[in-house]
Amino acid sequence: MKRTTELVPLMNFFAETLRETLVEWDVSQAEVSRMTGIPSPHLTDMKKSGRRSTLEKRRRLVAVLDRSERDALSGSERAGGVPSQYDLRLCRNLWTSPGFWLRLQFDFELMRAERKKGERIRREVQPHSALNEAKMLKCVT
């Protein structure tokens, strides 16, 4: 009998927390959109998956930003992640600390990367020997 390892599906805590927050606070998505300046379709996508994943969606995101905001986007945001300004807008509106929403998104993406490529990376990348020796010396002394 072939043995398989089945992993529990990853939960996107960013998307789940955003959905739950909107339900618990009894606030409509339209209200949050109006109060934060985040377009409602972007909130919908964030609630579904936590990121705007397709190229077309990314183009729409950039299209609604003014030039200074587009210039301020980092490479990861251009690649489809949750823009920092959205984090700040949600944090201000929903009384959470700055970076809260980005950390949830980052944790999800890191878990997903670990599942997809973690084993391969551990095979391909060796820890630096000098650092390993220093760590061992620290443990002995």
CA atoms within 13 A on the CB side of 131: 3
Q: Percent of the chain scored above 90 by pLDDT?
A: 39
CA distance to 7, 34, 120, per residue, from 111 (Å):
12, 32, 14
Both structure tokens of 55: 């190229």
Give the pLDDT confidence score for residue 67 in this predicted structure.
Answer: 57
Give the pLDDT confidence score for residue 33 in this predicted structure.
Answer: 94
Provide the mean pLDDT of the chain: 77
State which amino acid sits at residue 74: S
Does the pTM surpass 0.85? The reply is: no
Q: At what angle do helices 13-24 and 100-124 cross, to 10 degrees?
A: 160
Q: What kind of fold does domain 13-140 have according to CATH?
A: 434 Repressor (Amino-terminal Domain) (1.10.260)
The gap from C-alpha 51 to its chain's centroid, in whole angstroms, comes to 7
